[in-house]
Chains A and B, each alone.
Chain A
């Protein structure tokens, strides 16, 4: 075993940490959340120019051919600021799907733009409950003629649909009454038959409901092979989950830092709260949660990076991180008292992030089933 980071990763992580610390203070993040766009164009351009968006993509598309593990540490650093941006939906989710499923033509058409930050794509893979349903999509693409389809259905929690150039969806391909299986389609975000409705999220991040009614799609809008949509999503899912865990670990580390700082300086009963044994134990619990979350998330990322089988390890990471990040924010709120309950304070950013992250891609119950499956039960 080797728990050290290599030099390039160390440098990337340290640069990212500095970048995020300097450019994304909580006031900046809170302002972004208040604005309609929901992300900073200037910062987005900087991130693109730094090569972050294209980190794991091939050089022919403008990427740097880097390691997945480096992308993971980038997400850990961005998680510390709970930075709202289309990075995940565009340069990760949509990008990886196109990279995985697309033929050379569609990759050439989309990846360079995504990597340069000039094109923003997003994904609509969640049903009206907000659950991923690509295995058996509630959305349908009905063939109405040669290479011509009509898409109907509703997608929930589509990030940045209001600024996205295109939305990648997974619809059940119907030829007559024959179910030809889940199929990836790219759809323009505007036009007849499509409505983009803003959702009021607890984080303030820009998510949308997108309804499709007789939305016209062509053969050339299909990404990859018809019927293989679920397989493509399944293929990239471990990476998505690992990156989400990285982001959660980053957020959790800030919660621990913030809380330990607070109990060192907040005086009640003539002494800092930190002298109390119960407070020390709570802090010890939080840092235990952090260390354990970090190690199990890093393991998942490392195995993915090495191309080793890791279904169980990814599930363990998401199950664990989902619970302990949330628990830590609850402890942090107890220790912060009234001040932590204000909008002005930063803690609520992480409390909200922990809850949405918990429910995103499956909570601990969901992933425990995966662990059990992997164990053969």
Chain B
């Protein structure tokens, strides 16, 4: 057992750090929480592509590097440490590409994978899963894809579509079997949907932080060629089960507000212990130590999950457990930080008194979404209990 990295891995980490630091020095981006939600730059993605950092774990035959998930995690840890703007290619790298590799046709593999790896034009993806009546109950999707000759006609709507207003493509879950007697889990298919097709309407939803990052997406008789269906008809949920492990297991679930942690530690270092009083400082010490413990454990969980994937094992329980654990840590970090810094931490950007230029206030307003997006903590705990511990389903 070894909890340290190899020399090669350390060198890789340093290479990534050096690249990111030089980008930071050149003012290409700034380190601010929420980079993933709002930081899309094809130019930056191209730079990563040139270094072989997109599709790192994919087989070489598809343009990948055939590297390990642990290596990919090292890359992502450094990315999220500084909140580099990876949104253009992130979904493609995390789950679209892997899904196409596992379940896609040869045509889809040739058509998409090499272009993902190069961060070519018009390849930003969004996920079209949730609907107003299909949140936790994802199987209840009503958006339909009806076969019509060489196409499917898509009707219905999606909601909470992050980045839908900037995406070129959507990864769509739609109902393809309308037989009420058919098993619920075998009635949907996944499609790669070009959002520029006629009949697609994207409408903004403003979130409680006052920001526009997610959307409603409406499909009004959108014709998609059948070659854009992924794998077999009605196989969606089998495919999704595998995809969820990738979506859930990443370090972005632990580090989407990482700059808050570093800035908090810096603030504590600057604290005048006499001025704040011994008792308060003692509480602050205890609090930051607890956060450090929780962060380190979260990091180990995420690395363990990546290592499990590298061993060739599927980690449904580990991915679900890690995501639930990490998202809860992220919320606690924001909450404790506001208490340590006091009321000025609740000022949004615009004046010099706002702690961290308003970043913490912003993060506190985003906090409720951490334990909901990508699978709520409650759903994840069900997976841990039922698939991890074999506790009986109802």
Chain A residue nearest to B331 (CB atoms) is A330
Q: Does B185 interact with chain A (Cβ within 8 Å)?
A: no
A202–B346 contact, CB under 8 A?
yes
Chain B residue nearest to A203 (CB atoms) is B346
Q: Does B160 interact with chain A (Cβ within 8 Å)?
A: yes
Residues of B within 8 A of A201 (CB): 346-348
Q: Does B343 interact with chain A (Cβ within 8 Å)?
A: yes
Complex alpha-carbon distance, A60 and B246, angstroms: 72
Q: Does A233 interact with chain B (Cβ within 8 Å)?
A: no
Residues of B within 8 A of A269 (CB): 136-137, 140
B343–A356 contact, CB under 8 A?
yes
A156–B376 contact, CB under 8 A?
no
Interfacial residues, chain B to chain A (CB-CB below 8 A): 130, 133, 135-137, 140, 159-160, 205-208, 210, 279-280, 283, 331, 335, 338-339, 341-351, 353-354, 358, 361, 364-365, 368-369, 371-372, 376-378
Residues of B within 8 A of A12 (CB): none
**Chain A window 123-154, contacts with chain B (Cβ cutoff 8 Å), 1 for yes, 0 for no:** 00010111100000000000000000000000
A359–B206 contact, CB under 8 A?
no
Q: Which of A338, A351, A359 contacts B342 (CB 8 A)?
A: A359
Given A348-B208, A369-B279: A131 and B342 interface contact (C-beta under 8 Å): yes
How many Å from the CB of A133 to the closest CB on chain B? Answer: 11
How many Å from the CB of B350 to the closest CB on chain A? Answer: 4
B137–A130 contact, CB under 8 A?
no
Q: Does A236 interact with chain B (Cβ within 8 Å)?
A: no
Q: Which of A131, A337, A343 contacts B206 (CB 8 A)?
A: A343
Residues of A within 8 A of B279 (CB): 369
How many Å from the CB of B194 to the closest CB on chain A? Answer: 25
B368–A268 contact, CB under 8 A?
no
Complex alpha-carbon distance, A333 and B370, angstroms: 11
- Residues 340 to 370 of chain A near chain B (Cβ within 8 Å): 340-345, 347-348, 351-352, 355-356, 358-360, 363, 365, 369
Complex alpha-carbon distance, A129 and B339, angstroms: 12
A130, A338, A358, A363 — most chain B CB neighbours (10 Å):
A338
Residues of A within 8 A of B133 (CB): 267-268
B351–A359 contact, CB under 8 A?
no
B207, B345, B350, B368 — most chain A CB neighbours (10 Å):
B368
Q: Which of A128, A338, A356 contacts B353 (CB 8 A)?
A: A128
Q: Does A199 interact with chain B (Cβ within 8 Å)?
A: yes
Q: Does A197 interact with chain B (Cβ within 8 Å)?
A: yes
Residues of A within 8 A of B369 (CB): 341
Given A200-B347, A269-B137: A129 and B368 interface contact (C-beta under 8 Å): no
Chain A residue nearest to B287 (CB atoms) is A365
Residues of A within 8 A of B350 (CB): 199-200
Q: Which of A334, A343, A365 contacts B372 (CB 8 A)?
A: A334
Given A128-B353, A337-B372, A341-B208: A157 and B343 interface contact (C-beta under 8 Å): yes
Q: Does A315 interact with chain B (Cβ within 8 Å)?
A: no
B283–A365 contact, CB under 8 A?
yes
How many Å from the CB of A56 to the closest CB on chain B? Answer: 26
Q: Does A278 interact with chain B (Cβ within 8 Å)?
A: yes
B371–A268 contact, CB under 8 A?
no
Chain B residue nearest to A352 (CB atoms) is B365
A334–B377 contact, CB under 8 A?
yes
B133, B343, B361, B372 — most chain A CB neighbours (10 Å):
B343
